[in-house]
Structure 1
């Protein structure tokens, strides 16, 4: 039996590589002769750089940049000197992983460090920069990164406003850099797999700011600030991007990359599919089953993210897909309608979140072994 493995990480519990190892161990308890082919997966969020580096020869360069609260932090980016391409992971400079639980404050955090990391990549000679979005601690609409690259945001008295989520509504004008924002011919790609607009009921603040430390009133203020920023960008830069699907990624950083740097949007899932040869492998080699999944499957998983992408590739080829996750908030009937054969939830409902995350490997292995004993080979 030939099984393709393409899971994402179980955030805070297991890396994607560890998930693959647990799945293989589970299957082999029942089918020791099973053959596996593994593929890297990323939606553009934290882990994007490692996923690309696993399939492309990259140098790992470091720069000292600002963390989400302005403190110096060392962050790495991937550099391919032969192709002139750099790979920046936003979470390395502006991520939640850089803050303690008590430090999470979407009103104060900013993306300046991500802009500084992009600048470091440009200084290294990059003419193409892929910016992986996800895991951010911010909700500043990308104003911080824009400031790092020469933009200024002014208040009613003409003074510079420090970009952060809580200051968006204070901005009354945008002053672009005097010279070119980027070297001529530079291309920036905003890599992500979400479909949220910048503001509104499904926007960056209302959907994502609560996990970044924002309470209900702060969410309201952040959403109003992002809407105000959108209007300013339209007036001062002539760029109307706020309603664009995906503009709300990473607290509106996708919007900022597009509005201030002219970035193109790129699906992280489909980019990894392309550079790893995932789709070609499904066509060229007989595949009996695909195992995919992530830490939590929810409504976003059905809108262009990894699971959705895998199902789109598998369905026309008639390959069954089984998803494994720690928790699921998406209706099973919606998953089945997209073509999912089975969903395996690994969390022990009798244990708390901390225990399940600490025992993620054994839970994935145990759940997969139980499924294999009942259902593999498929149709048995």
Structure 2
């Protein structure tokens, strides 16, 4: 039996590496002679740099930047000097991982620090920049990033605004000066989220609550994104708010395309390509692909990593098994997603804290039981 593992992390419970290790242990217990290959995946969000580093020759560059609340930090990105490519994980400067639970509020956060990383990469000679989107603490439409690179945003009085979520509604003019250094640079927004910028399926309504926003905040944030889109359309003659992926990372997807003419790249396809997985599937017969993440729910249908793996499985006619901590989707949606089956590892009789802290053990046991029953 040949099995390919492409899981995401179980957020707050186990890294992708730990998930892979647990799956291998469980499968080997049930099917000792199984031929298992694994791929460290990312949808462009948390873990993007770790995944890229496994498959390209690049050096880590550390530089001073700012966290989502504007506090000085040191963050890193990857640079391949030979082909002048840089790989940036926006979560390293603008991610929720940098804030405590009490600090999280997308009304007050900015992607300015991500812009600083981009600026530094260009100064190092990069002319192709891949920005992994996801894990953001922000909902600023990419305005913070743009300001770090030279754009100016002013209110009705001509005063420069602080580029945070709650101030989007106050933008009345956009200035673009001193941007010549970016004209010869190609930008790529690496992401698997398909949401538009605003509306009920947009950045604020779908993602802002988990970033610390109240219901009232979400309405204000969405109104701010609508307003930003209006000003951009009037002054920059760009109308891309409804392009699939614009709502990624609190609208940073929109900001990259609007302010830097970025091309959207499907995250899972990008990383699978780096790892030459498509070539592997053409050469070898794989019996199962196993993927997974902490929770499989309605958002999984919006283009997360699992959907990318499932689409690849369909293309090569390989059944895909999803493993998750929490399965919050009905069977109709599950099969419409294209999963062959799904395993929920959590034990109903145990507390959430127990299930999260014992995730690797639960993953190992669940996959062992699944393949043992098939034997």
- Quickly name the TM-score band, shorter chain normalised: over 0.9
Residue matched to 2:308? 309
* Residue correspondence of structure 1 range 120-159 to structure 2 within 5 A: 120-159=120-159
Matched with 2:323 is 324
Aligned to 1:250: 249
Give the structure 2 partner of residue 175 of structure 1.
175
Deviates more, 1:317-326 or 1:205-214: 317-326
- TM (normalized to structure 2)? 0.97
Quote the residue 1:370 is aligned against: 369
Does residue 165 (structure 1) correspond to residue 165 (structure 2)? The answer is yes
Partner of 2:39: 39
- The separation in 2 between residues aligned to 1:108 and 1:241, in whole angstroms, is 24
Aligned pair in 2 of structure 1 residues 316, 172: CA closer, same or farther (>3 Å)? Answer: closer
**TM-score with structure 1 length normalisation?**
0.96
In structure 2, what is the equivalent of residue 282 of structure 1? 281
The answer (yes or no) to whether the contact 1:40–1:276 under 8 Å persists in 2 is no
Aligned partners of 2:361, 2:180: CA distance in 1, in Å?
50
8 Å Cα contact 1:189-1:265 kept in structure 2: yes
Matched, 1:335 2:339: no
Matches within 5 A, 1:185-200: 185-200=184-199
2:260 is aligned to 261
Q: How does 1:1-12 map to 2 (within 5 A)?
A: 1-12=1-12
Give the stretch that moved more between structures: 80-89 or 349-358.
349-358
Q: Does the CA contact (< 8 Å) of 1:189 and 1:263 recur in 2?
A: yes
Q: How far apart are residue 308 of structure 1 and its match? A: 1.7
Quote the Cα distance in structure 2 between the aligned partners of 1:338 and 1:168: 35
- SS of equivalent to 2:6: strand
CA distance in 2, matches of 1:78, 1:330: 37
Aligned to 1:109: 109
Shift of 1:348: 1.5
Q: Name 1:59's counterpart in structure 2.
A: 59
Shift of 1:239: 0.9
CA-to-partner distance for each residue in 1:278-329, whole Å, 9 max, x for gaps? 1221121111111111111122322333222222222243322111011122
Q: Indicate conservation of the 8 Å contact 2:149/2:179, yes or no.
A: no
CA distance in 1, matches of 2:329, 2:243: 24
Distance 2:208 2:302 in 1: 19
Q: Distance in 1 between matches of 2:60 and 2:294?
A: 27
Q: Which moved further from structure 2: 211-220 or 327-336?
A: 327-336
Alignment partners' CA distance in 2, 1:302 and 1:278: 22
Quote the Cα distance in structure 2 between the aligned partners of 1:98 and 1:12: 14
Question: 1: distance between equivalents of 2:336 and 2:168?
Answer: 41
Sort the Cα spacing of 1:18 and 1:122 in 2 relative to 1 into closer, same or farther, 3 A: same
Q: Distance in 1 between matches of 2:222 and 2:180?
A: 27
Counterparts in 2 of 1:182 and 1:231: CA distance versus 1, 3 Å:
farther
Give the superposition deviation at 1:156: 1.0
Unaligned stretches of 5+ in structure 1?
Answer: none
- Residues 336-364 of structure 1 deviation map (CA, whole Å, 9 limit, x = unaligned): 23432210011122223222111110010
Query: In the superposition, relative to structure 1, how do residues 68 and 181 fare at CA in structure 2: closer, same or farther (>3 Å)?
Result: farther
Q: What do the CA deviations read for 1:142-165 (whole angstroms, capped 9, x no partner)? A: 110111001111111101011100
Separation of aligned partners in 2, 1:306 and 1:136 = 16
| RMSD over aligned Cα atoms | 1.2
Could you tell me how far 1:181 is from its partner in structure 2? Answer: 4.9
Deviations 1:5-41 (A, max 9, x none): 1111111111111111100101111111111111121
SS across alignment from 1:370: helix
After superposition, the C-alpha distances for 1:222-242 in whole angstroms (9 at most, x for unaligned) are: 000010000011111111111
1:184 aligned residue: 183
- Whether the 8 Å contact between 1:23 and 1:368 is mirrored in structure 2 is yes
Residue aligning to 2:49: 49
